[in-house]
Amino acid sequence: MTTSTAATGSADDAEALVATTARAARQAQRVLAGLNRERKDAALHALADALTARTEAILAANAQDLERARESGMKPGLIDRLALSTDRIAAIADSLREIAALPDPVGEIVDGQTLPNGLRVRRVRVPLGVVGMIYEARPNVTVDVAALTLKSGNAVVLRGGSAAAATNAAIITVLRDALAAAGLPADLVTTVDPAGRAGATALMHARGLIDVLVPRGGAGLIRAVVEESSVPVIETGSGNCHVYVDAAADLAAAVDIIVNAKTQRVGVCNAAETLLVHRSAASAYLPAAADALWERGVTLHADAAARACLEEQAAAQGRAELLVEATEADWETEYGSLDLAVRVVDTIDDAIAHITAYSTGHTEAVLTQDVTAMNRFVAGVDSAAIMVNASTRFTDGGQLGLGAELGISTQKLHARGPMGLAALTTTKWVVEGEGHVRP
Amino acid sequence: MTTSTAATGSADDAEALVATTARAARQAQRVLAGLNRERKDAALHALADALTARTEAILAANAQDLERARESGMKPGLIDRLALSTDRIAAIADSLREIAALPDPVGEIVDGQTLPNGLRVRRVRVPLGVVGMIYEARPNVTVDVAALTLKSGNAVVLRGGSAAAATNAAIITVLRDALAAAGLPADLVTTVDPAGRAGATALMHARGLIDVLVPRGGAGLIRAVVEESSVPVIETGSGNCHVYVDAAADLAAAVDIIVNAKTQRVGVCNAAETLLVHRSAASAYLPAAADALWERGVTLHADAAARACLEEQAAAQGRAELLVEATEADWETEYGSLDLAVRVVDTIDDAIAHITAYSTGHTEAVLTQDVTAMNRFVAGVDSAAIMVNASTRFTDGGQLGLGAELGISTQKLHARGPMGLAALTTTKWVVEGEGHVRP
């Protein structure tokens, strides 16, 4: 494997490469499907050890990518996501060992019964087959996805961001060598990076060769894959998440929760972007919430009613610049920054209507001590996750007990919300009879 | 609603109609989501009663469609699928009552746990929202799908085959009137038929307005929807199903099963199309199987080894025309007729390899008394359903205990194999805390 950069080959060449690569992956997957969990977990440990052992080679390749990135003027945030270090590689290797420790989803009997005619029916979890992955320049995703697909019995065909081409090539070489040394087919992890952008397009049209395509990255990348792909896509979405503070909320807890939801980690999809407050709680809640949020540098984009509660306080504290007028655009924006839209609503139904109009369907929180209000919100909001008296930041595979996370789905088919290993499987019906025929 | 035939309006008009219709459907679905099972089941009974009560109006519209169909030279088989009668409408009404009797998938708690930090997590089944349906000229599908979506808490936007336009318009009017009379929103069942073919195309691009699109009909229709649609699709597939008779099969049972799988109902997707026979069973099994199949008029498309077992017998019985030479095309063909491809294989692995190469991934049967062979086949064949010592014809929602059936999925995402009401749902995470914030 060469450390080719973003070569833009012809579409025909890319199609040929994708077809050859996907067929090799399919062969490898069939071998893997016959192996039990012990073999898969041993391979994951071997991959972890190999990554640590070959840290120097990976860092050398990463240095090439970083140099190119700096020359091309890449933003510091993106450079940080591209950069590896000995510690980061060790952390990535540890995450492989954690995936090895998770239960194997393959073979789980999802349900089953014996029918009146004596047929014994069960549905068994099996791998999807060959997973395609299109992602941006984050080398940790290369390892992450290879490990998740291996654990769930799948092969993966990768197409990484071209800015990470040298790093990815080095990592993939390490992974393939380690697979072969562990007695598994190297083609469980393959790449179409040498075909450049045309490789991504060819992956999207490799229906029948690729069983499912998972885009991981920004909203633009995901939308492009969803629109273009004829291969089924598992969409990982963006999050315009809301926190609603009800008339009957525990206001002290509600301050802690909005601070956590907004500021505990900015720029992640489960951070809160809009705070909705019931009118009867506004004058008691908003000043306390604003104090705590302003202290952490959060700018509030507030509607007229919220500003009326806060303007005097902002002026008195010399924080007028942290209180600005909300516009329609604020309700739609996933800031990913220390900004929060704030709106006062007259009823819980108005809160639900606002969420219905503007949410991306990721996570919304209701803060209330009132059972009727809780039930109304849980039933009325159509999002992947509803938090009751808890921070939106809990929508995460690790936090919700799934172990490793493939991403957070905001689509409704196949997987919704945090996706664990089971999202990389399908089921097979197995029906056993004794010469049964249909009457 | 007019009984417009296949008007081919402009693409813009169609997009506008789909947008208006889908938004009205969304409003209606939100009302339905707040109703419990009793209300939904009562509505299903009301729909059934209304169809029976207004049989004459439906038959009058159906007569118009049938006249147009005969004038345009439609094939008798298709005319039969288009034709309604008092008995057929009564049967359709009965199927609604059966759907009412099924358990409600909505509200089912799929799984749940209390996490170490005290958060209580559950995943609850909820409706998908607005389902789009593109189907051919079979009026029973109109009712069927309206009932399945209603029971599962969804609204449906229909685009039926234009040859059934008058019948569908009449049926949809009856359904909408009955919904309104039952106090439910009529817009739970809507159609974009007035937009003609452009309506189908607009449905495929109504991402965000339509939550899932279900094509139902021939392979061509389904492929077109899958290729074109940017809305997520649930694909119902075609079936090139295999029966493998192992060296250790109960040969008498194996004769009954292949006769049932091939002839019990020809032209359905779970009928067998290829018979694979282990070489050591061929000379004992094939003559008996051929006798039974020939008696029912089945033409065997056999490879050289199978012909060697059967040629003498065919000649002696004057049935030489029912034994023809198999070509490569036979392995790939879903006959849907009294034809069966027959191949002798040396090993069970050769049988699995043949299936891997030619199957559409619907249903394959293994007939054996040998545990090792059974396990090898069940693990090695990657199809939606595996039958052990049973006919392929059992792959059916009704037969496998799902009650009503939306179709049989041969895709791997979301639903695989027979799809019941649960295939029309997704899940929502509900997480309850007491002021929990993420550390």
Domain topology for A11-236+419-431: Aldehyde Dehydrogenase; Chain A, domain 1 (3.40.605)
**pLDDT score of A3:** 37
State the sign of the Cα–Cα–Cα–Cα dihedral A401, A133, B203, B384.
negative
Chain A window 366-385: which residues touch B at a Cβ cutoff of 8 Å?
378-380, 382-385
Q: Bridge-partner residues for B19, per DSSP? A: none
Q: Bridge-partner residues for B216, per DSSP? A: B135
CA distance A413 to A75: 35
* φ, ψ for residue A334, nearest 5 deg: -95, 95
pLDDT at residue B367 is higher than 80: yes
CA distance B86 to B351: 47
**pLDDT score of B76:** 87
Q: Determine whether the interchain pair A431/B386 forms a contact, defined as Cβ–Cβ distance below 8 Å.
A: yes
Question: How many of the other CB atoms lie within 10 Å of CB of B22?
Answer: 24
CA nearest to A419 within chain B: B429
Kindly list the residues from chain B whose CB atom is less than 8 angstroms away from the CB atom of residue A428: 382-386, 416-417
- In which residue ranges of chain A is pLDDT below 50? 1-7
Q: Determine whether the interchain pair A33/B433 forms a contact, defined as Cβ–Cβ distance below 8 Å.
A: no
CA distances from B277 to A295, B350, B426 (A): 77, 10, 42
Kindly list the residues from chain B whose CB atom is less than 8 angstroms away from the CB atom of residue A207: 226
- Predicted confidence (pLDDT) per residue in B281-320, tens digit: 999 999 999 999 999 999 999 999 999 999 999 999 999 9
Q: Determine whether the interchain pair A429/B264 forms a contact, defined as Cβ–Cβ distance below 8 Å.
A: no
**H helices present in A236-300, as ranges:** 251-263, 279-295
Q: To the nearest whole angstrom, how far is the Cα of B260 from the nearest Cα of chain A?
A: 6
**pLDDT score of A83:** 95
pLDDT at residue B348 is higher than 90: yes
Asked if B106 has any chain A CB less than 8 Å from its own CB, the reply is no
β-pair type (A241-245, A212-216): unpaired
CA distance A366 to A347: 13
Whole-number CA gyration radius for chain A: 25
Residue with structure tokens 């629109």? A227
Render the burial of A61-100: b for 16+ CB within 10 Å, e for the rest: bbebbbebbeeeebeeeeeebbbbeeebbeebbebbeebb
Q: To the nearest whole angstrom, how far is the Cα of A79 from the nearest Cα of chain B?
A: 27
The complex's ipTM? 0.91
Sheet holding A323-325, edge to edge: A323-325, A299-302, A339-345, A272-278, A241-245, A363-367, A385-390, B425-436, B120-127, B109-114
User: pLDDT exceeding 70 applies to what percent of chain A?
Assistant: 98
> Would you kindly state where each structural domain of chain B is located, as residue ranges?
11-236+419-431, 241-399
Q: Taking residues B374-390, what's their average pLDDT?
A: 97
* φ, ψ for residue B35, nearest 5 deg: -100, 150
**pLDDT score of B5:** 39
Which of A261, A428, A433 has the CB atom closest to B388's CB atom?
Answer: A433
**pLDDT score of A270:** 95
Domain topology for A241-399: Aldehyde Dehydrogenase; Chain A, domain 2 (3.40.309)
pLDDT at residue B7 is higher than 80: no
Q: Determine whether the interchain pair B383/A437 forms a contact, defined as Cβ–Cβ distance below 8 Å.
A: no
Q: Determine whether the interchain pair A256/B435 forms a contact, defined as Cβ–Cβ distance below 8 Å.
A: yes
- Is residue B418 helix, strand or coil? strand
Q: Determine whether the interchain pair B427/A417 forms a contact, defined as Cβ–Cβ distance below 8 Å.
A: yes
Q: To the nearest whole angstrom, how far is the Cα of A186 from the nearest Cα of chain B?
A: 21
Q: Determine whether the interchain pair A435/B230 forms a contact, defined as Cβ–Cβ distance below 8 Å.
A: no
Contact A430, B388 (CB under 8 A): yes
Asked if B391 has any chain A CB less than 8 Å from its own CB, the reply is yes
Q: To the nearest whole angstrom, how far is the Cα of A211 from the nearest Cα of chain B?
A: 7
- Predicted confidence (pLDDT) per residue in B22-80, tens digit: 999 999 999 999 899 999 999 999 999 999 999 999 999 999 999 999 999 999 888 99
CA distance B22 to B187: 9
Kindly list the residues from chain B whose CB atom is less than 8 angstroms away from the CB atom of residue A259: 437
CA distance A62 to A82: 8
**pLDDT score of B340:** 98
pLDDT at residue B3 is higher than 50: no
CA nearest to A356 within chain B: B30
Q: To the nearest whole angstrom, how far is the Cα of A401 from the nearest Cα of chain B?
A: 7
CA nearest to A417 within chain B: B429
Nearest Cα to B152, choosing from B410, B406, B408, B417? B406
Contact B66, B59 (CB under 8 A): no
CA distance B140 to A173: 56
Q: To the nearest whole angstrom, how far is the Cα of B105 from the nearest Cα of chain A?
A: 15
Question: Side chain identity at B238, as an amino acid letter?
Answer: S
Q: Is B304 exposed, middle or buried (0-12, 13-18, 19+ CB in 10 A)?
A: exposed
Render the burial of B26-40: b for 16+ CB within 10 Å, e for the rest: bebbbebbeeeeeeb
**pLDDT score of A230:** 87
Q: Bridge-partner residues for B127, per DSSP? A: B425
Chain B contact probe: residue of A228, A269, A428, A430 with most B CBs at under 10 A: A428
Q: Determine whether the interchain pair A435/B384 forms a contact, defined as Cβ–Cβ distance below 8 Å.
A: no
Kindly list the residues from chain B whose CB atom is less than 8 angstroms away from the CB atom of residue A378: 430
Q: Taking residues B346-364, what's their average pLDDT?
A: 97
Asked if A429 has any chain B CB less than 8 Å from its own CB, the reply is yes
Q: To the nearest whole angstrom, how far is the Cα of A374 from the nearest Cα of chain B?
A: 10
**pLDDT score of B6:** 43
Q: Is A252 exposed, middle or buried (0-12, 13-18, 19+ CB in 10 A)?
A: exposed
Q: Bridge-partner residues for A275, per DSSP? A: A243, A342
CA distance A22 to A189: 10
CA distance A45 to A28: 19
Chain A window 18-57: which residues touch B at a Cβ cutoff of 8 Å?
33-34
β-pair type (B120-127, A407-409): unpaired
CA nearest to A250 within chain B: B435
Q: To the nearest whole angstrom, how far is the Cα of A214 from the nearest Cα of chain B?
A: 12
Q: Determine whether the interchain pair A401/B33 forms a contact, defined as Cβ–Cβ distance below 8 Å.
A: no
CA distance B260 to A377: 53
CA distance B141 to B82: 10
CA distance A412 to B126: 10
Q: Residue B8's pLDDT band (boundaries 50, 70, 90)?
A: low
Residues in chain A: 439
* φ, ψ for residue B98, nearest 5 deg: -65, -40
On the question of a common fold for B11-236+419-431 and B241-399, the answer reads no
Q: Residue B137's pLDDT band (boundaries 50, 70, 90)?
A: confident
Chain A window 397-416: which residues touch B at a Cβ cutoff of 8 Å?
399-401, 411-414, 416
Q: Count Cβ–Cβ pairs < 8 Å, chain A vs chain B.
A: 198
Could you tell me which residues come within 8 angstroms of residue A294 by beta carbon, excluding any fewer than 6 positions away? A300, A314, A317, A319, A322
**pLDDT score of A9:** 62
Element (H, E) at B96: helix B86-101
CA nearest to B32 within chain A: A380
**pLDDT score of B9:** 62
Q: To the nearest whole angstrom, how far is the Cα of B391 from the nearest Cα of chain A?
A: 5
Distance in Å from the first CA to the final CA of chain A: 58
Asked if A268 has any chain B CB less than 8 Å from its own CB, the reply is no
CA nearest to A363 within chain B: B429
Residue with structure tokens 């996490």? B115
CA nearest to B252 within chain A: A435
**pLDDT score of A10:** 83
Q: To the nearest whole angstrom, how far is the Cα of A437 from the nearest Cα of chain B?
A: 5
Distance in Å from the first CA to the final CA of chain B: 58
Q: Determine whether the interchain pair A211/B412 forms a contact, defined as Cβ–Cβ distance below 8 Å.
A: yes
Nearest Cα to A30, choosing from A188, A142, A222? A188
Contact A272, A242 (CB under 8 A): yes
Q: Determine whether the interchain pair B413/A232 forms a contact, defined as Cβ–Cβ distance below 8 Å.
A: yes
Q: Taking residues B161-175, what's their average pLDDT?
A: 96
Q: Determine whether the interchain pair B389/A433 forms a contact, defined as Cβ–Cβ distance below 8 Å.
A: yes
A239 token code pair: 């999050």
Q: Is A371 exposed, middle or buried (0-12, 13-18, 19+ CB in 10 A)?
A: exposed
Kindly list the residues from chain B whose CB atom is less than 8 angstroms away from the CB atom of residue A430: 378, 385-386, 388
CA distances from B314 to A32, B291, B295, B337 (A): 45, 9, 12, 20
Kindly list the residues from chain B whose CB atom is less than 8 angstroms away from the CB atom of residue A34: 379-380
Render the burial of A312-332: b for 16+ CB within 10 Å, e for the rest: eebeeeebeebbeebeeebbe
CA distance B400 to A264: 49
Question: Side chain identity at A168, as an amino acid letter?
Answer: N
Per-residue H/E/C for B306-334: HHHHHHHHHHHCCCHHHEEECCHHHHHCC
- Predicted confidence (pLDDT) per residue in B75-133, tens digit: 988 899 899 999 999 999 999 999 999 999 999 999 999 999 999 999 999 999 999 99
Q: Determine whether the interchain pair A129/B394 forms a contact, defined as Cβ–Cβ distance below 8 Å.
A: no
